[in-house]
Amino acid sequence: MQFNVAQLLKEPIGAMRRYELVEDIGELDPELAALGPLVGEVELIRIHSGILARANLSTAMQVMCNRCLEPIALPVRFTIEESFRPLTEVNTGRYIAPTEFEGEEEDLEDEALIIDEHHVLDLSEVVRQSIWVTLPMYPSCNWTGTGECPNLTRYLRELKATQEQAGEEIAMDEDEAVDPRWAALLELRKQQGNQGD
């Protein structure tokens, strides 16, 4: 996701480059599990303060359903519109003082938006942040978003059947055989059962 913008920086305001992006993002963030490359279109436009990057990107992430903890594939789409500022002047290599910066003050402070001294504009950090912002806070395997998570519904049905078979008490060794991800839920049901006694 690195673009050398040396030539573009020498061009007049409004000059543009367009790129088709197909980028492996497996290494982008250890906590993000990408299921495919990042694809889409990137536009880099020369503006007075540097380069405006505009992108329309998509990929797929593996996340966990918030209710049943099953892994699910989640399509992720987002757009980027950020202005990057050059660290050095492209013709002379002279470092540009922050006081000379003509863009927004918030852009000045964001290290992710700096074009380095080799005139390389790196979109990775902006992409990484965008993915995190795009991911739902409570992903659910029920993609339509209504009703109960089908995996959880099935699990509760199976659990109920097992409990009915085993009678009211669940033996300790049976607890240990249960998937640890369900242990808390099982404990809760036992407590509710005890309250009813």
- Residues at the site binding Zn ion, with contacts judged by CB under 5 A: 65, 67-68, 141, 149, 151
Q: Which is nearer to Zn ion, 58 or 151 (CB)?
A: 151
CB atoms within 10 A of CB 111: 6
CB 44, CB 17: distance < 8 Å: yes
> Pairing state of beta strands 50-64 and 38-47?
antiparallel
Q: How far is the CB of 150 from Zn ion (least distance, A)?
A: 7
Q: How far is the CB of 33 from Zn ion (least distance, A)?
A: 17
Q: Which residue blocks in 29-135 are alpha helix, DSSP H?
A: 105-109, 124-134
CB atoms within 10 A of CB 124: 16
Q: How far is CA 12 from CA 45, 69, 83, 122, in A?
A: 10, 52, 16, 21
Q: How far is the CB of 157 from Zn ion (least distance, A)?
A: 14
Q: Which is nearer to Zn ion, 80 or 186 (CB)?
A: 186
Q: Which is nearer to Zn ion, 129 or 142 (CB)?
A: 142
Q: Which is nearer to Zn ion, 131 or 141 (CB)?
A: 141
Q: How far is the CB of 142 from Zn ion (least distance, A)?
A: 6
